[in-house]
A = this chain, B = another copy of it.
Amino acid sequence: MNNPQLNKNGELQHLLSTEGLPADILRAILDKATTFVDFSDGFEIRNAPLLKGKSVFNVFFENSTRTRTTFEIAAKRLSADVVNLNIGSSSTSKGETLLDTVDNLCAMHADMFVVRHSQSGAAHIIARHVAPEIHVINAGDGRHAHPTQALLDMFTVRHYKKEFHNLRVAIVGDVLHSRVARSQIHALTTLGVPEVRVIAPKTLLPTMVENLGVRVFHDMNEGLKDVDVVMMLRLQNERMQGAALPSAQEYFKYYGLTEEKLAHARPDAIVMHPGPMNRGIEIDSSVADGKHSVILPQVTFGIAVRMAVMSMLAGAKA
């Protein structure tokens, strides 16, 4: 039992990655998240004072207003005190080490860290370093992992498809640079999805991506054939300036999700996107706003899933 994400009682101690999380923990998070959604009233979020008196520090070494906001809202709906730290422009630029910054925040009596960092592994390093009563949530580290995004995606899939064991899921786009894709693949395979596909040009796929247990497609029409779930990835603008891609128009032609390409999927397929969307580049507006899209419910479920993770961490026995 050397899993850095679980304590000696097998409870969730940190959320760092969907890789290595057992299926029953994943399911427990999804079940817990269900208690924060009132489905009778169009996905209304239910508040709960489970983090009253606790201090949650949003420590963002890389700026992300959207992700920070979702954690801030989730923490406030659990009655936590929330402190936002945009560290990019702060102490680390003054020469302080990452762990000195963390030690200082611990000494201010943080109960929970939400960490976004451009370096893969940063959240793991922090989790290994802090005292046992302090919990760490990875809000995205380099190209490595973005587990709350993957968990909200799993919540969304389960909400619309009920089961995982009978699904075909396609992940489309820039898998190479995507921490979201890595976390999705681990979560989907752990939860028993029998067929996970990735669809991308060769230049946007990691070498030996097959080793993650996925089927590789370079053609959208083939890759989308008969899938139940389409998970689009965001195409980082900066990639388009590099050599990896010819042009946005070219990319959209081959890999942008249009109604025409989506017609190859199952008639009841759902379309997901982690946001923010580049309309007309990775996804056509008619699909983004169409009847298959569950992109906005994903956002609502994201609040519930983050509330679930935070309340489970706060409830773990140190």
- Distance from A50 Cβ to chain B, minimum over Cβ atoms (Å): 16
Contact with A108, one of B65, B69, B101, B109 (Cβ below 8 angstroms)? B69
The answer to whether B108 touches A73 (Cβ under 8 A) is: yes
- Distance from A232 Cβ to chain B, minimum over Cβ atoms (Å): 14
The answer to whether A104 touches B63 (Cβ under 8 A) is: no
Chain B residues within 8 Å of A246, by CB: none
Does A91 sit at the interface, judged by CB under 8 A?
yes
Interface of chain A residues 37 through 90 with chain B (CB within 8 A) = 44-45, 47, 53, 55, 63-66, 69-70, 72-73, 76-77, 81, 83, 85-87, 89-90
Which among A47, A66, A70 has the greatest number of chain B C-beta atoms within 10 A? A66
Known: A76-B81, A96-B276. 19 other contacts (CB 8 A): A44-B109, A65-B86, A65-B87, A65-B89, A66-B90, A66-B104, A69-B85, A69-B105, A73-B81, A95-B278, A95-B281, A100-B276, A106-B296, A107-B296, A107-B297, A107-B298, A107-B300, A108-B302, A109-B303
Query: Can you name 18 A-B pairs with beta carbons within 8 Å?
Result: A44-B109, A55-B76, A63-B90, A64-B90, A65-B89, A65-B91, A66-B104, A69-B83, A69-B108, A73-B109, A76-B83, A95-B281, A100-B275, A103-B296, A104-B296, A107-B297, A108-B299, A109-B303
Q: Which 8 A-B pairs have the closest CB atoms?
A: A96-B276, A107-B299, A65-B90, A107-B296, A91-B276, A107-B300, A95-B278, A76-B81
